[in-house]
Amino acid sequence: MKYDNTPQSEHKTKLRLKPLLTALTVTAVLGTVLAYTGGIFEPLTRNYGDELGVIEATEPVEIEQGETPEKIDIAENSVKRGESLYVILTRNGITPAEVSTLARRLRSEFSLRNLHPGQRYQIEKDLDGRFMRFALMRTKTTRLNLEKSRESGEFHIWNEVLEYDTRVASISGLITSSLSDALQEHDRYTLITPLQNLFTWKINFSRDIRPGTTYKILFEEQWLDNELASTGNILAAEISIGGNETISAYRFTDAKGSTGYYDENGKSLNGFFLSSPCNYSRVSSSYGYRTHPILRKRHFHGGVDLAAPTGTPVYAVADGKIVFRGIKGAAGKMVTIDHPRGYHTKYLHLSRFASGARYGSRVQQGDIIGYVGTTGRSTGPHLDFRVVHNGKLQNPLKTLRSSGATKAVAPEDMQEFLAHVSSFRSQLDEERIFVADASKVMRASQTLF
């Protein structure tokens, strides 16, 4: 038999400590559970809004109306004899240390001394005189942009192509691995996202495209003299899958000026929405609750962040009217589009707006409305894309995937449509490949890093 020789006073102390230790243990565990946010410990902030002030998914969403003019001062000048980029930038508020950093980043593409008298440039400043952007005309068709973020102080550098000739090109072939690999062999990888948007309701690119699949694509290209700047609209495409099945798409503009893609019978391939608003590399932040990458606060995020280089084109995902274009606080440069069926889409953190996408203008699905950037509260180039339906936020990527085809070629336009199809098929069947040498390719909006 064993006896407990502990003094009675010590028993009472232990009894008094047990409830206290239990309470502390529960509090610590509960605090750990509440604070854990995917690898870091941070309390959930219930009253913290995202870039547009959104706290919960269920709250009403404000739809902006109007235009907020950019409060900037733009001065145009030309390089004087003996002037260097160092002199121009430091004279306009850039520190010598910042110029030194820019010189290192530009070393492989551009020399700070590589200026010529008479070259035109622009300096943009805010109304307080703080530097915002420097734009140098390197040639008649290319412009070098140096933009400084007002929030982070980081510089973003990109080349911009201003003019080009449009030519028609075609490629065809047999897929041995994937369509993206086949396009990459011709240095036309940029066609993959438009093709996926085009056939999003007809082809599952991960399941249906297999070795042995054949393809034919007729498309536009933008050229600068003998250099390819970028690929443009797809005019026609035919992809043969599963042996005898061929999925076709033909671009057609009807008598009312509405442009869309249709199969050989005139049925629309366009869903109500595109499957993606831009060609992005990854989803850097999903819709829903997250820890903000700058503020380190747990909060609700009303959009989806799509990582892409500065200057990547951003497309209107559906027909509509631009009801807001301007700067919106932490959202930076933003465009809001009003669509039928009670939908609105928002495009945040743009580096700049497309020249044709003005406030009050109507846009068609696939029109470029702006370019990816990192304006506002942002850690790097990306598009924060949002969908609102009847005043309520929706999961953006889920909503894009849920829409289907909506129209067909009108009977009065059918004869002209069939004539277009016949012409496109003749060009596709010629089986000639018009593509530039890979060394001739120049990106339309190329991030220099």
What average pLDDT does this structure show over 382-406?
87
Average of per-residue pLDDT values in the chain: 81
Judged by DSSP in three states, 69 sits in: coil
Q: Are residues 421 and 329 in the same domain?
A: no
171 and 261 housed in the same domain: yes
List helix spans (H) across 111-261. Answer: 179-185, 192-198
Number of domains in the chain: 3
Higher pLDDT, 279 or 131: 131
Closest CA to 213 of 248, 239, 186, 192: 239
Q: Is residue 199 part of a domain?
A: yes
CA–centroid distance for 358 within its chain? 18
Q: Which residue range is the domain that position 350 belongs to? A: 282-402
Does a structural domain hold residue 45?
no
361 and 330 in a common domain: yes
CA 330 vs CA 1, 3, 48, 62, 377: distances in Å: 74, 70, 13, 15, 5
Q: Is the pLDDT of residue 28 over 50?
A: no
What CATH code is carried by the domain that includes residue 314?
A: 2.70.70.10
- Does residue 187 fall inside a structural domain? yes
Question: What six digits make up the tokens of 317?
Answer: 């995902």
* Domain CATH number, residue 253: 3.10.450.350
Would you state the pLDDT for residue 365?
Answer: 86
pLDDT over 70 at 431, yes or no? no
- Would residue 19 count as lying in a domain? no
Residue type, 7: P
Residues 227, 372: one domain? no
Whether 305 is in a domain gets the answer: yes
pLDDT at 103: 86
Please check whether residue 180 is in contact with residue 186, taking contact to mean a CB–CB distance below 8 angstroms: no
In a domain, 413, yes or no: yes
Asked if 141 and 290 sit in the same domain, the reply is no
Bridge-based pairing of strands 362-363 and 368-372 is: unpaired
- Per-residue pLDDT, 186: 86
- pLDDT class for 448, splitting at 50, 70, 90? very low
Do 288 and 378 lie in a common domain? yes
| Boundary (domain end) residue, out of 108, 140, 161 | 161
In a domain, 51, yes or no: no
Does the structure show a pLDDT above 60 at 356? yes
From the list 129, 391, 199, 382, the residue with the least C-alpha distance to 279 is: 382
Please indicate, yes or no, whether residues 143 and 219 belong to a single structural domain of this protein. no
Report pLDDT for 295. 63
Where among 161, 177, 212 does a domain terminate? 161
Residue 14 lies in a domain: no
Residue after which a domain boundary falls, among 402, 421, 439: 402
Q: What is the pLDDT of residues 318-355, one digit of tens each?
A: 989 999 999 999 999 999 999 998 999 999 999 999 98
Ramachandran area for residue 239 (φ above 0: left; ψ -120 to 50: alpha; else beta): beta
Q: For position 47, what pLDDT does the model report?
A: 66
